[in-house]
Structure 1
Amino acid sequence: MTERIVKVKDIIDTLDKITGGRVVKGREDLFCGKNPFVVVKSSNIPGKAVMEIPGIVWGDLNKPVRKLAVAMTLTECKIELAGATGVDVIVAHHPIADAANSGGVTLKNYLGLYNIAAIELHEAFHGLHPGISYIHGIKAHRVDIAYGGIPGNIMYVGTTLEGIETLGDILNRLREFMNYEVEEEMLESERQVRGCREILETNIVTGGKIFNGSIDSRVKNVLHIFPHTGFTPEHLEQVMKEHPEVDTVLATISRVHEDSPLVLKAQEYGLNFIAGNSHAMEIYENGLPLAAALNYYLGRDVKILIFNERVTSTPVEMFGSKAVREYAKYITENFLIEKGK
């Protein structure tokens, strides 16, 4: 039996199949709004806008692919990991920007050096599945990925799954799905090995939290929002007109503070407010299903990997080895501070 040779263009075709035809087919898709998932994201900071282009960003479409890695955000760490382990193509969920996602150097030179192709999806993958709601024990019956006419402003309305009756049930479900027990053990092990109790880790410190209500508060009809996408108190007012049955606001991917206008507006309506998984956990929500779908279509011919994300913080005086801390002291004292100060 002849071995099938999968090429980058076959990965693009497979992603187009998975997304229901949302991948860019050619240059014509970049203009005149032909592909609605080609979106410019900008905070109006001069020179910092980026255009999302679901599809190939860099690489040879005819390059053979034997190893493929799914990642959330492309970084130099992941490029180095891919280069060292023979990965042929990285499929990144988030948009890729020249230099910003490649350690300050150009994508062409960096990815070209290791002969790695790069593909992005982001908005083209959003709205394909209700996974984040499902993880939190919610079945979405309304999905809007541009609520209020804002691209990427995702809003779900749904009801709880069987067995989810209180806010505490949601928190317990998250602990099971996200394997918090193991994450906590890993953090504790790292603290012991490095001899520093002050090390913190993103997934632990951003765990589920109740803002309005208690673990015993009843929940049935849920508004599921993503604060960082632009969901405002005014949007909440509009949703309550459209869905007065809502009793709980679930905020995921991004977080809010206790005095957030969204939390306060929810209090006015007598709504529970709970924060679930942060953006740091999206590799499980979107990355794992995408990788599983690619494995379904390509698994016999391509090894599918997931590049996980784990970020910790450590006080500067405890970071690294004694030798590298002495190095930092030497560099600082001799090159980075004014003499005589």
Structure 2
Amino acid sequence: MREEGQVRVRDVVEALDRISGGRMVKDWNEVTSGANPYVVTKTSHIPGKSVIEIPGLVFGDRDKPVRRIGVGMTLTESMIELASGMELDLIVVHHPVAEAANSGGVPFADYLPLYKLALIEMHEAFHGLHPGLTLLHGHRKQKTDIAFGGLPGNILHKGVTLEGIATAGALLARIREWMGHGIDRELLAAERVIRGEPTLQEATLANPALLLAGRPEQPAREVLHFFPHTGFSMAHLEQALALYPETDTLIASISRVRPDHPFVAFARERGLNFIVGNPHSVEILENGLPLAYALEELLPQTDIFLLRERMTAVGVGEIGHRRMVEYGREMAREHLLAASPRAVHV
């Protein structure tokens, strides 16, 4: 990349193309022709709700100058507003974006130009490029399939535990230690006090890494690591174990399963360890942070920022800010319920 001169959006696309090994869309014909295998449609077959992933420039001018870049995971209106306040020129997000769904219910063309923002997405084009996610989960990957069973995005890692990790308990301890949950716990404790909301919950801490099958002292060496939200099924699990019969440990991360899931029952029947690892809420660290540092290296003329969103929850009966509680109750009683012929008064 250039060491001198002004960086433009097209230079960022070029940098991402280098990082991804040539996977970025550089010509719109790649979207319509099917020439780029990382342009895929994601759908649950709900009418009007499918989305086409386009690893490349989604919105903005390729010649637009870029000085400040935000790297995020999932575009939201909160991220757009943060980018506005920070006067960013470009947002690079991991996950695919869709009109209105990722921009506060309004089209990109009505919103992003207000803040002079360009937008790039990556997703499948970024998968499998680095081993960090597996290393954070205590194993070194030997093989990766990013379309296991012929399903695009259905990622399966085959790995072996790192030196010094011999048991399921040690593997679980590594996950917890590396992700800095102690800081998150201190932050949540302080926020509960400041807000006067003692039961406030936070997404990362609400979904800790857990051992759902096996015992902490049970040996862990041969690992299969998969992601349930990608469409990974029981049939896929049986197929993977047939390919790698030496497996003793299963890890599901980013998305999770509950203790009564068939995956867990199957693991118990087979005498396998089953660990649910990091939740989706920390993928900004797993995948976003390496991407941000790579861009910083290739585009030293720019300032790179990590855009990390934090999700919390509290029961409406325990919200601490009294003025907003009064506001919410008044709007509900005097307008929403009074105006609704279907309102039920108990």
The match for 1:321 is 321
Identity of aligned residues (%): 48
Cα deviation code 1:188-237 (max 9, x no counterpart): 11111112211011111111001101221210000101011111111111
Between the aligned partners of 2:325 and 2:197, the Cα distance in structure 1 is: 15
CA contact (8 A) 2:95 2:121 kept: yes
User: Shift in Å at residue 307 of structure 1?
Assistant: 0.5
Partner SS state of residue 249, structure 1: strand
Between the aligned partners of 1:88 and 1:320, the Cα distance in structure 2 is: 36
The match for 1:81 is 82
Partner SS state of residue 252, structure 2: strand
Between the aligned partners of 1:326 and 1:205, the Cα distance in structure 2 is: 28
Cα deviation code 1:107-132 (max 9, x no counterpart): 11110111100000000000111221
The match for 2:209 is 208
The match for 1:140 is 141
User: Shift in Å at residue 171 of structure 1?
Assistant: 2.0
CA contact (8 A) 2:15 2:295 kept: yes
Cα deviation code 1:169-189 (max 9, x no counterpart): 122212221101111000111
Between the aligned partners of 1:187 and 1:91, the Cα distance in structure 2 is: 28
The match for 1:40 is 41
Partner SS state of residue 255, structure 1: coil
CA contact (8 A) 2:267 2:273 kept: yes
2:221 equivalent to 1:238? no
Between the aligned partners of 1:218 and 1:238, the Cα distance in structure 2 is: 23
Between the aligned partners of 2:89 and 2:178, the Cα distance in structure 1 is: 30
Between the aligned partners of 1:148 and 1:32, the Cα distance in structure 2 is: 24
User: Shift in Å at residue 253 of structure 1?
Assistant: 0.5
Q: Which segments of 5 or more consecutive residues in structure 2 lack a partner in the other structure?
A: none
Equivalent residue letter for 2:332? T
Between the aligned partners of 1:197 and 1:327, the Cα distance in structure 2 is: 21
The match for 1:107 is 108
Partner SS state of residue 219, structure 1: coil
Partner SS state of residue 98, structure 1: coil
Between the aligned partners of 2:206 and 2:171, the Cα distance in structure 1 is: 17
User: Shift in Å at residue 319 of structure 1?
Assistant: 2.6
Between the aligned partners of 1:191 and 1:170, the Cα distance in structure 2 is: 31
Between the aligned partners of 1:23 and 1:41, the Cα distance in structure 2 is: 18
1:114-133 mapped onto 2 (5 Å cutoff): 114-133=115-134
CA contact (8 A) 2:161 2:222 kept: yes
Between the aligned partners of 2:218 and 2:206, the Cα distance in structure 1 is: 23
Partner SS state of residue 10, structure 2: helix
Give the TM-score normalised by structure 2. Answer: 0.96
Partner SS state of residue 31, structure 1: helix
Worse-superposed segment, 227-236 or 88-97: 227-236
CA contact (8 A) 2:172 2:275 kept: no
Between the aligned partners of 1:273 and 1:147, the Cα distance in structure 2 is: 20
Between the aligned partners of 2:29 and 2:15, the Cα distance in structure 1 is: 20
User: Shift in Å at residue 3 of structure 1?
Assistant: 5.3
Partner SS state of residue 217, structure 2: coil
The match for 1:30 is 31
Between the aligned partners of 2:212 and 2:53, the Cα distance in structure 1 is: 34
Worse-superposed segment, 79-88 or 263-272: 263-272
Between the aligned partners of 2:171 and 2:244, the Cα distance in structure 1 is: 21
The match for 2:159 is 158
The match for 1:269 is 270
Between the aligned partners of 1:71 and 1:319, the Cα distance in structure 2 is: 29
Between the aligned partners of 1:205 and 1:256, the Cα distance in structure 2 is: 14
User: Shift in Å at residue 320 of structure 1?
Assistant: 5.4
Q: Which segments of 5 or more consecutive residues in structure 1 lack a partner in the other structure?
A: none
1:13-24 mapped onto 2 (5 Å cutoff): 13-24=14-25
Q: How many residues align?
A: 339
Between the aligned partners of 1:244 and 1:145, the Cα distance in structure 2 is: 20
Between the aligned partners of 1:250 and 1:263, the Cα distance in structure 2 is: 11
